[in-house]
């Protein structure tokens, strides 16, 4: 099979992912073998490829927003059955036994494993996944539309929940990539006014077309304070100005697995019972809830497709904000 593998991290401009011929994997106990049809690219993939987060083992096949068809099942697997279309998200395994898992926070499991980081992911024609951690894909979504929902969509949905967003509130989205453009559509469904902060002219145009009530930069003055905000850009220096945009009692959620350092800031920007919190991974419950909601809303990501062999180019375009919406690799 063909796969894009990372042998050692490096700047994406050096194209460290290599197209290689590998043996097709086999489904072991509790596993399913998938024929991959689409895999969306993510900033987490970029952090892995450039070495800002480290895999437990190299070479590694990245990719954790995977849509494919079950071709074979291993011993002990009753569902999903062969022929089923499923999605493979970031969370690949959680123990189910630790304190975090027992309280419903399997995303914080200390033994958790993650797709494309701790085990090979979907930048390939075939992959193996734990049957208990794949998600059903709504019938109404094409493969390339479903793929970005499996991380960008799910983690954006969790971010809105962790921000305690209520219907009718004003939401700020800081940075406007794959996740933010989906979160905007969910927030609009909840009758929220959405202010989008981004420097990219094309991203501003997309945000306005999706119903943003205001679009500008963090240095610009929005119509009023934010009730809640989500920071998608992995830039720590944006935290203080983002907090300054919040009303007293508001919440800022940082949606990033890796981010530059948050600079020293005056206590006044946090004072007034403002909340600053991070989002770490997502649970299977988040995935099932969000995919059900996406089908109800008729949610459709804005997608730009690339062939599998162009994974380096897709990640380079992602790094330099040249993708409006989500980038998706197709096999």
Distance (Å, rounded) from C-alpha 101 to C-alpha 106?
4
| Cross-strand pairs, 327 | 304
Is the same domain home to 87 and 111?
A: yes
H helices of 147-274, in order, are: 152-162, 178-189, 201-209, 239-244
The answer to whether residue 288 sits within a structural domain is: no
Domain count of the fold of the chain: 2
| Cross-strand pairs, 17 | 6
Is the same domain home to 115 and 166?
A: no
The answer to whether residue 294 sits within a structural domain is: no
Is the same domain home to 137 and 183?
A: no
The answer to whether residue 286 sits within a structural domain is: no
Q: How many CB atoms lie within 10 A of CB 1?
A: 15
Is the same domain home to 6 and 145?
A: yes
Is the same domain home to 260 and 307?
A: no
Helix (H) / strand (E) containing 297:
helix 284-297
Q: How many CA atoms lie within 13 A of 137 on its CB side?
A: 27
Distance (Å, rounded) from C-alpha 207 to C-alpha 24?
41
Supply φ then ψ for residue 263, to 5 degrees: -75, 165
Q: How many CB atoms lie within 10 A of CB 270?
A: 17
Is the same domain home to 135 and 161?
A: no
CB 63 within 8 A of CB 331: no
CATH number at residue 106: 3.90.180.10
Distance (Å, rounded) from C-alpha 55 to C-alpha 57?
5
Is the same domain home to 135 and 184?
A: no
CB 330 within 8 A of CB 305: yes
The answer to whether residue 15 sits within a structural domain is: yes
- DSSP strands (E only) in 217-309: 226-231, 246-254, 275-278, 303-307
pLDDT in tens, the chain (331 residues): 999 999 999 999 999 999 999 999 999 999 999 999 999 999 999 999 999 999 989 999 999 999 999 999 999 999 999 999 999 999 999 999 999 999 999 999 999 999 999 999 999 999 999 999 999 999 989 999 999 999 999 999 999 999 999 999 999 999 999 999 999 999 999 999 999 999 999 999 999 999 999 999 988 999 999 999 999 999 999 999 999 999 999 999 999 898 999 999 999 999 999 999 999 999 999 999 999 999 999 988 999 999 999 999 999 999 999 999 999 999 9
CATH number at residue 179: 3.40.50.720
Is the same domain home to 162 and 139?
A: no
Q: Which domain holds residue 135?
A: 2-149+301-330
């Amino acid at each position: 099979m063909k796969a894009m593998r990372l042998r050692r991290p490096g700047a994406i401009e050096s194209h460290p992912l290599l197209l290689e011929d590998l043996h097709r994997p086999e489904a072991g106990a509790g596993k399913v073998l998938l024929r991959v049809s689409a895999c969306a690219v993510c900033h987490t993939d970029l952090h892995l490829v450039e070495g800002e987060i480290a895999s437990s083992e190299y070479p590694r096949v990245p990719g954790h927003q995977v849509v494919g068809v079950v071709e074979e099942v291993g011993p002990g697997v009753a569902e999903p059955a062969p022929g089923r279309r499923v999605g493979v998200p970031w969370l690949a395994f959680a123990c189910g036994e630790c304190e975090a898992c027992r309280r419903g926070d399997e995303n914080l499991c200390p033994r958790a494993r993650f797709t494309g980081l701790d085990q090979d992911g979907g930048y390939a024609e075939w992959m193996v996944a734990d049957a208990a951690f794949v998600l059903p894909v709504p019938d109404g979504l094409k493969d390339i539309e479903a793929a970005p929902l499996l991380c960008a969509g799910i983690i954006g949905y969790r971010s809105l929940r962790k921000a305690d967003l209520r219907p009718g509130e004003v939401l700020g989205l800081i940075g406007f990539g794959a996740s933010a453009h989906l979160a905007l559509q969910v927030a609009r469904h909840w009758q929220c006014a959405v202010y989008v902060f981004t420097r990219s002219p094309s991203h501003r145009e997309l945000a306005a077309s999706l119903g943003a009530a205001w679009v500008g930069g963090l240095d610009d003055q929005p119509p009023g304070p934010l009730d809640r905000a989500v920071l998608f850009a992995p830039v720590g220096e944006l935290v203080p100005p983002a907090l300054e945009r919040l009303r007293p009692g508001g919440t800022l959620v940082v949606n990033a697995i890796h981010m530059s350092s948050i600079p020293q800031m005056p206590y006044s920007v946090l004072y007034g019972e403002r909340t600053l919190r991070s989002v770490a991974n997502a649970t299977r419950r988040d995935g099932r809830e969000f995919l059900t909601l996406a089908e109800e809303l008729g949610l459709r990501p804005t997608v730009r497709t690339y062939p599998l062999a162009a994974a380096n180019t897709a990640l380079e375009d992602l790094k330099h904000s040249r993708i409006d919406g989500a980038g998706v690799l197709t096999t």
